Amino acid sequence: MAQALKVPIHKNRQTTMARINGYISTGSLFRNLGITNQIYGERAAFTSLEVFSITGPHGSWQNYSFADVIGAEFQPARTGQDFGPTWTTHWFRVRITIPESMRGKEVHLRWASGCEAMVYDGTGKVLQGISPGFREEYVLTKNFQGTQPPPILYVEMACNHMFGAGGDLICMYNKTCTTPPDPNRYWRLDAAEIAVFNRDKYDLLNDLEMLYGISNKLGDGSHIGMQAMCAANEMINLIRLGQESQAPAVAAAFFADTTGSKAHQIYSMGHCHIDTAWLWPYDETIRKCARSFSAQLRLLEEYPDFTFVCSSAQQYAWVKQWYPSLFEEMKTAIEGGRFIPVGGTWIENDGYVPSGESFIRQFFYGQQFFRREFNVTCKEFWLPDTFGYSAQIPQMIKHCGIDRFLTQKLSWNQVNKFPNHSFMWEGIDGTQVLTHFPPGDGYGMQNTADDFVNTQNNSLDKGRTNVAIMLFGNGDGGGGPTRTMIERLKRVQDTDGLPKVQFSSSNGFFDKLEEDKDKLYKWVGELYLELHNGTYTTQAKIKAYNRKCEFMLREVELLMSIAYASGKVTELQKIADMATVDTNWQNVLLNQFHDVLPGSCIEFAAQDAWKIYADVYTSLTALRNTYNTRILATGSARALFNPLPWEVRSVVFMRPDTLAPPTGANIQTVTLDATAFEDQTQGRYRVPNTFSAALVTLRPNGFTLFAAQAPSTAVTYQANSPGTGFGTYRNGTISLEVATTGRPYEKLFLNGKAVYNDYLGKNVQPAMFYIYDDIPIYWDAWDIADYHLESRREPDWANSSAMTQISTGPIVGCYKWTANFGNGSSIVRYTIMRAESPMIEYYTIIDWKEDRKLLKVEFPMDILAREATYEVQYGFVSRPTHINTSWDMAKYEVCGHKWMDVSQADKGVTIITDCKYGFHARDNVVQVSLLKSPKNPDANCDMHKHFIYYAVLPHEGTFQEAEVVRRAYELNLLGSNNVPLLATNLTGATLPASWVTTNNNAVVVEAVKVCEEITRTIVIRLYESKGGSADTTVNLGFAITQVRECNGLEDPGDVVPRTGNTFQTSFRPFQVRSFLVTF
């Protein structure tokens, strides 16, 4: 070392460490000697303090401009006063005069209220956020020389702490659970003053804290750890002997002793994870962004080496909208390269439930914003806190120009430890992306000695790579890095005994890791989080809305493309309507945030999401009606629209909003209930209470004149013998025998062969409901614990009605069964058979009132399958139906999209749903999770009526041969919908159809949309759906002039040869490809 440490003869580690700790603590017998209490010296009260309060529901602050605030009537306020209740806002007008006695000193404004706040100048410019517990000061001047700060400042106080306003509930393992917010909580203003900040004392404190942390972490078995202790003790001796000015040199000498060239290298960057909504609603996140970002700008000004990374274009967009001057400051910092946008997405989305197209649009809108505003294109996908990651993510992000991925969430695994921190992640199509999990197992590190050493020691890739990321800063509720965190890092960037640490960026780290990628292990398939598997089910209404809004956007974009390429809209109309679609897409993407769509948010956030979805429906319905009229005009003829790229022959249900319902031959009127269902208007993806049913053949991707057709085999019903109850429905393909045993008991047959078979004696009645305990260890809304499987039981049925015959054919057969159970919950189930359909369908309406119960519907299959197959984005994955290994056992609840399947060599059974995502398949029994009932953080989660549609599709051969993918699309877009009946004056020949089709059933046209940047161009996105290679011809229903391949961001690529209005392309298994088609 540069300076020898003066080690006393008498030295006891326990007492010495206790002494050092006393000097850096606020309590204990050292409280009058400790440095912490000396950081702030002389204090002075504000010249005056006044308050203006905004009452009302959350978000009321948005109704007041800054001009409204400063023009309001303020009342006197004082420290010690309580403010509230929860979610209210209180504006303080602060007048400050710095006394002459503070000349030559650093002076801070101090504000401590226990809740979040933000400081403004008198013009409304945001100065800095205040975060309770770790940032309760604002620097007025570094060196007061008599020039007073602005005479008036404003402090906006929000009555919520960093994590909302919930109380504390201690669960198992002393974990603090998330509870609903207390609506009547108040916060006390404990400090509102100016004070002298003693930076020398502050630097001493940071020196001692870091030395103590190093010694404590490395322990008495380490020479360097003991040297750190001795250095800290020597500093205290100097302080006590009146030689405090010499103490910093002791610390500096210790920190200056460098480490070796082979030391682990940490790439550290400030980080502020702000949940876009969670224990607070969206409107509070807007202010959290301003508080956090303004605070980081002040730190960037103070520390020229400090770098700060932040994701989520939506959060930047909010700042631009609500705080334009702050946004301009951010732009300047981004241009300087130290305020760094990362991730490329609109928000940090859920990793399982969103559709493939939603994933693509996250990047499309996110990168579009970053490019437009900052000339930045992000190179990494950034999802540190999402609850598992689909096996299709590598391809989806690569399709959007990204080949790097960061998360840390799998460190939360409950059963198995993930084997790597740096690795190549391979998706279901073979795409690989470079992936890193920060070895510190967090995204909110504090830059303590523990954090640095743990990041080094935890690495599971020693010998393969010597680099790691450390993300430091307060997160979830925002706030980000603090001055103290940066000071800690500055001291130990190259210190013996510790890894090397440098301020860096995501690109800086991944560029370095890229050099080692050939040495890294490969992980194939999904990154399944062995926790939080209840998020596939919780807040069922949000998930249902999400699925249906995704499909509605798909349909509207196709209609716009047809109209645009047909010359039915002008460029100005197109631009205006695309802006509407963009807004709706962004709103749907917003609700896919990883605490909203998964359902782990408070009630206010869920209600906000519902309203956003309702607005999306209203907006898109109006746009769809406009485009139907533009394309079809109006008239006495009737047409149907098929949004799917293949011909569909199916029975559809129609209840027109304004036109007369169709009648006549081959049309059957069906009444399920005398009372209209909620939100059953046409095109809302909900079967109405009464409808006209007709078998129709619909041309692909376009319109067909309505013509009801006679089925090849009608639906029939044969009653059982008198006294035995009910009977059998048949349609020539399947038959359903229904008996009464107090409840309906069903036997399903495909071509005379049984579909159901409880051959393992698990006492599972086909298609019946079962109740499970929903009491996880501590993450109430998030988790389904493995032991829930041991609590299976039948609901305590009450008032179980007799089954009611609804219809007996020839187009539709249906019966109704109702029952009450539990805490007043009720089920109404309609079992439906359509003519010519291989499926038996269930329309289930549940009024849910349970407390910590989980409801499932179950099916015992006559199948021997060691794996089950589940649809994911643009493909499918297989998962075990056994528990041979701990990895198998941990996947007792998994996510699937529209369908899942269990098959053996000669046959199989598929379950298709219109809004469910949680499944359990063990041996031959499939369970679909319908509803959970957690009480934290939303005490009323899912306590309302739910409309759920699902079907059982037995098949011969493989599910690929049975065209399961197509059947699932058809049920979701047509079968579970009130299909719109449209007026037109066009003839069949002039109705646009077959707009984009392929000649290979394996290739699905997933999106057809107007191109954002290139005029007279349509974007087409296709994928291979069956898991094999595929060659196809893409046929266009309009005259084209050029085809170019593009990525998910619509960046043009190579020209593709075409023949007339067709072009050929090929696909690897599950490959996604996008094309720009110019006309």
| Complete DSSP assignment for 461-505 | -TTT--EEEEEESB-BB--B--HHHHHHHHHTTT-TTS-EEEE--
What is the end-to-end Cα distance of the chain in Å, rounded?
A: 74
Half-sphere exposure for 335 (CA within 13 Å, toward CB): 8
Q: Are 30 and 18 in contact (CB under 8 A)?
A: no
Tokens, residue 131: 């975060």
What CA–CA distance (Å, rounded) separates 233 from 16? 7
Q: Is 660 exposed, middle or buried (0-12, 13-18, 19+ CB in 10 A)?
A: exposed
Catalytic, out of 275, 283, 350, 385: 385
Question: Distances in Å between the alpha carbon of 443 and those of 63, 268, 343, 407, 476?
Answer: 34, 11, 14, 9, 9
What CA–CA distance (Å, rounded) separates 557 from 560? 5
Q: Are 218 and 224 in contact (CB under 8 A)?
A: yes
Tokens, residue 300: 């960037």
What CA–CA distance (Å, rounded) separates 565 from 995? 10
pLDDT for 521 equals: 98
Number of H helices, E strands in the chain: 18, 58
Whose CA is closest to 49, among 185, 196, 194, 158? 194
Q: Are 705 and 747 in contact (CB under 8 A)?
A: no
pLDDT for 1 equals: 42
What CA–CA distance (Å, rounded) separates 398 from 1072? 10
- Residue 145 φ then ψ, to 5°: -120, 25
Give start-end residues of each CATH 2.60.40.1360 domain in the chain.
995-1079
Against a cut of 0.75, is the pTM above it? yes
Whose CA is closest to 536, among 172, 867, 892? 892
Q: Is the bond leading into 85 cis (omega within 30 degrees of zero)? A: yes
What CA–CA distance (Å, rounded) separates 460 from 468? 11
What is the CATH architecture of 39-197? Answer: Sandwich (2.60)
pLDDT for 791 equals: 98
pLDDT for 10 equals: 65
Helix (H, G, I), strand (E, B) or coil at 920: strand
How many Å separate Cα 892 from the centre of its chain? 22
Tokens, residue 204: 């001493």
pLDDT for 170 equals: 55
pLDDT for 2 equals: 44
Residues with Cβ within 8 Å of 414's Cβ and at least 6 positions away in sequence, in order, are: 530, 531, 890
At residue 243's C-alpha, the angle toward residues 240 and 248, to 5°, is 100
What CA–CA distance (Å, rounded) separates 601 from 899? 27
Give start-end residues of each CATH 3.20.110.10 domain in the chain.
274-442+506-531
Tokens, residue 817: 């069964």
What CA–CA distance (Å, rounded) separates 984 from 634? 4
What CA–CA distance (Å, rounded) separates 648 from 638? 17
Q: Is 220 a catalytic residue?
A: no
Whose CA is closest to 916, among 539, 550, 643? 539
How many Å separate Cα 679 from the centre of its chain? 26
What CA–CA distance (Å, rounded) separates 34 from 26? 7
Residues with Cβ within 8 Å of 935's Cβ and at least 6 positions away in sequence, in order, are: 180, 780, 851, 852, 941
Top-level class of domain 995-1079: mainly beta
What CA–CA distance (Å, rounded) separates 22 from 209? 11
Whose CA is closest to 444, among 301, 300, 269? 269
Helix (H, G, I), strand (E, B) or coil at 564: helix
Q: Is the bond leading into 810 cis (omega within 30 degrees of zero)? A: yes
pLDDT for 386 equals: 97
| Complete DSSP assignment for 318-368 | HHHHH-HHHHHHHHHHHHTTSEEE-S-SSS-B-SSSS-HHHHHHHHHHHHH
CB crowding 253-282: b at 16 or more within 10 Å, else e:
ebbeeebeeebbbbbbbbbbbbbbbbbbbb
Identity (one letter) of the amino acid at 394? Answer: P
Give start-end residues of each CATH 2.70.98.30 domain in the chain.
753-967
Tallying the residues shown for the chain, one arrives at: 1079
Other Cβ atoms less than 10 A from the Cβ of 999: the count is 12
Q: Is 826 exposed, middle or buried (0-12, 13-18, 19+ CB in 10 A)?
A: middle
At residue 33's C-alpha, the angle toward residues 299 and 498, to 5°, is 50
**Which residues partner with 181 through β-bridges?**
166
What CA–CA distance (Å, rounded) separates 540 from 198? 54
Fold designation for 753-967: Beta-galactosidase; Chain A, domain 5 (2.70.98)
pLDDT for 100 equals: 97
**Which residues partner with 294 through β-bridges?**
none
Whose CA is closest to 1048, among 406, 575, 377, 562? 377
Q: Does CATH place domain 274-442+506-531 in 3.20.110.10?
A: yes
Taking 70 as the pLDDT cut, the residues of the chain under it are: 1-10, 168-177, 723-724
CB crowding 756-793: b at 16 or more within 10 Å, else e:
bebeeeeebbbbbbbbbbbbbebbbbbbbbbebeeebe
pLDDT for 177 equals: 62
Question: Distances in Å between the alpha carbon of 44 and those of 41, 100, 107, 138, 140?
Answer: 10, 11, 10, 15, 13
Question: Distances in Å between the alpha carbon of 644 and those of 698, 913, 965?
Answer: 9, 18, 12
Tokens, residue 410: 């799998």
Tokens, residue 857: 């519907």
What CA–CA distance (Å, rounded) separates 74 from 123? 17
Helix (H, G, I), strand (E, B) or coil at 111: strand
Q: What is the helix (H) or strand (E) element at residue 371, kind and residue range?
A: helix 356-374
